[in-house]
Amino acid sequence: MNSGGSRAEAADGPSGASTADLAGGAARTRKARRYGRLRPGDRVVVVAPSGPVDAARLETGCAVLRDLGLDTVVAKHALDLVNLGPDHAAMGTVRDDWYRLAGTDADRAADLQDAWCDPRVQAVICARGGYGATRVLDHLDWELLAAATAADEESGRGPTILHGSSDITALHAAFGARLGVTTSFGPMPTGVIADLAPAVSQDMPDERLHGLRAALFGGPVTLPGTHVLRPGRAEGPLTGGTLSLLTALLGTPYAPPPAAGHIVFLEDVTEAPYRVDRMLVQLVQSGWFDGAAGIALGSWRDCGDPAELDAVFTARLGPLGVPMLAGVPVGHGPRQRTLELGAPAVLDTGKVHKVHITVPETGPDPAVPDVGALTLHALPGGSR
């Protein structure tokens, strides 16, 4: 495992990115500072900004993080439960048959903000997705978060890591735009990370584990696709996330900056092809895709016929005239790998690539004879 502690490196954003002020005084940034890589012994805090957390799964996932050498702390409200409406928890009347969140909006935001602003914390890891992250955004003190981010950089350690996926896309977009940092999109403690317990305890090779280590501790990340929808090669910072969350943020103060000059990563779960089509139409009509450099499509678990989805992607995104690679193993489902949103990336559909992950006792993975890959530039090792 490469656990070098290299810290901040700038990732160029699109040359046409707006620098106009956002609501709340934040500004869209043209460059993202790459988050500092973890080292064994670093403190990480697990927060729950979205759906309710299963306590047993959370403990299993946290045990995996501890086995990776991390000082893992669970946030105060991570196991709280409330319904979507008034605070029934205060009256002891949380209904199990109604949707539940992991605490009130204010409490979930407080856990996230406290962890981000704690100088002892190197990473804030989201326990799970679900729903609720968009409701947290209005409760965050963005000036305080920005001050803590600046203090991290002044200390030489680089920005704190925000890690999670799915519903956490809302936080990725807002933190990237308002704080000017890269963020980590990947498996979470109550999901795939908990499933990694046997691989960690028995030192078994697992591509998901090695991908997580590479993204968080340092190392190259190269993810093969399964098929090409439009050939070509593109370079640019990586943006995107879960499609439904990107669409939900349009027209809000937290909308993701336009994708001009970026490689766009998209994935989702349990969305029928017509819904995927509708969301892509909305993003296209809003101009969000204008000037995008390339498209990387991840998992689309339980989203209908893959052939119909490919037809949707080709029809909606093909006119952009940029390379489009499908089947990148990131998103929902068992094959979750990890990406650094905002980091410099290369999308190449025309070569046989090697997955640059060292597997214990077996050496590097063999060449993968697929049709292309998405590669993120690795930060070198070094002191903080």
- Residue 244's Cα: distance from chain center in Å? 14
Pairing label, strands 373-376, 344-348: antiparallel
* Residue 183 pLDDT exceeds 90: yes
Q: Which letter, b or e, does each residue of 122-152 get, where b requires 16 or more Cβ atoms within 10 Å of its Cβ?
A: bbbbbbbbbbbbbbbbeebebeebbebbeeb
User: Do 331 and 297 touch, CB atoms closer than 8 A?
Assistant: no
Contact 311, 211 (CB under 8 A): no
Query: What is the average pLDDT across 352-361?
Result: 28
Q: What is the average pLDDT across 70-95?
A: 87
CA–CA separation, 145 and 166 (whole Å): 22
Position 24 confidence tier, pLDDT thresholds 50, 70, 90: very low
Q: What is the pTM of this model?
A: 0.87
pLDDT at 277: 98
Task: Specify the pLDDT at position 21.
Answer: 38
Active site residues: 166, 267, 332
pLDDT of amino acid 370: 45
Q: Domain-by-domain residue ranges, the chain?
A: 10-217, 221-376
Stronger pLDDT, 17 or 338, i.e. the higher one: 338
Q: Rounded mean pLDDT of 310-338?
A: 96
Q: At which residue do the structure tokens 């092809």 appear? A: 273
Q: How many other CB atoms are there within 10 angstroms of residue 35's CB atom?
A: 29
pLDDT in tens, 228-268: 999 999 999 999 999 999 999 999 999 999 999 999 999 99
Nearest residue to 324 (alpha-carbon basis) of 368, 276, 371: 371
| pLDDT at residue 358 is higher than 50 | no
* Axis-axis angle for helices 105-117, 142-154 (nearest 10): 20
Quick one: CATH architecture of 221-376? Answer: 3-Layer(bba) Sandwich (3.50)
Decide if domain 10-217 falls under CATH 3.40.50.10740.
yes
Rounded to an integer, the average pLDDT of 198-214 is 90
Round to whole Å and give the CA distance between 209 and 373: 19
DSSP strand pairing (227-230 vs 324-326): antiparallel
Phi and psi, residue 247, nearest 5°: -70, -40
